[in-house]
Chains A and B, each alone.
Chain A
């Protein structure tokens, strides 16, 4: 019985690395697609074949163990360490991802590093929010904020900042353009 339960928590995957040898995508074995799709709530109803590292981390957080072609395995602890080597914001991003998932939001990795797309309910036709994860102590150029606002505007998303402090608390801020010229005349 125990073996059967354990095998249900095993997910066979193939890992794709980028040119810096960082984990880029994680492909899931076909027979496990229904489980993965159920756990990883995304916009599309089509099966989730490849996972973003953040989504893979979420699966391991939920108790799944990733088996890479039956020779190497990734638990939550191991994957968190490996991902953090390439992306020091991994933990902060995961905290935001987890916070939103726990509150029933539908979350997907965004088009740029450290971004997420969020919608409030599964039945909503499109993503509502474009969220940039920032971490206390990790300085950013102001230009990053205006790029976020501009990209969100083009895609009809609401831009958001998720600022994670050093205790793991998250504050959300909505940045919007302020047009100074509107009052003139």
Chain B
């Protein structure tokens, strides 16, 4: 498959060619077509917006090449650097995104649910995302009330909350699903 061409515009990457946009989206529900909040499949006629985590993943998979506004090729390393500028825990987010994608899940932004990622087993428009993922540092100290808030939020939208705890020293991610329960 030929690489789609994306442009780094601020803190996002945009694939301007509509055909390439459709092709990339249909590969694994990557990105969001401009002006279409819930695309029904890849039959859209619009540019495709990718966030920096998605764009880096696609660059590393050889599906995308990114250029800056001057037309200069942006390497994966440079893209990650921009990501770190834009998002404080970019490396941890990217690691979790990559692991979930490599495991076959469709990973999308979870912002509208108040989490880092919404994770689908099949894809948007096919199934509802069953999981919300919150990315934290394994050695980070968190207030248990945060767990309750995140748990309650996911329960209210009938999704399961997964805490992805990234150990930056060992490189290991521990995934823990939290479910509200009665005892």
User: Which residue numbers of A lie inside 8 Å of B, CB to CB?
Assistant: 100, 105, 118, 129, 131, 134-143, 145-146, 149, 160-163, 165, 171-185
From the candidates A118, A149, A173, name the one contacting B181 in the complex (CB within 8 A): A173
Q: Which of B103, B105, B138, B177 contacts A176 (CB 8 A)?
A: B177
Determine if A136 and B144 form an interchain contact, defined as CB atoms under 8 angstroms apart.
yes
Whether a CB of chain A sits under 8 angstroms from the CB of B148 is yes
Interface flag for B104 (CB, 8 Å): yes
Q: Per-position contact with A for B147-183: 1 when CB-CB < 8 Å, else 0?
A: 1100100000000001101000000011111111111
List of A residues within 8 angstroms of B151 by Cβ? 171, 173
Task: Point out the residues of chain A lying under 8 angstroms from B180, CB to CB.
Answer: 171-174
B contact residues around A139 at 8 Å (CB): 141-144
Q: Which residues of B contact A (CB under 8 A)?
A: 99-100, 102-105, 121, 131, 136-145, 147-148, 151, 162-163, 165, 173-183
B183 lies within 8 A of A172 (CB): yes
- B141 and A140 contact, CB distance less than 8 A: yes
**A-B pairs with beta carbons under 8 Å apart, 12 shown:** A134-B144, A136-B143, A137-B143, A142-B136, A142-B142, A163-B147, A173-B178, A174-B179, A180-B99, A183-B103, A183-B121, A185-B104
Task: Report how many A-B pairs have Cβ atoms within 8 Å.
Answer: 111
Contact of B144 among A143, A163, A182 (CB under 8 A): A163
Contact B183 A161 (CB under 8 A): no
CB distance from A149 to the nearest CB of B (A): 6
Residue of B at shortest CB range from A182? B103
B177, chain A: closest CB distance, angstroms: 4
Check A176–B181 contact: CB distance below 8 A: no
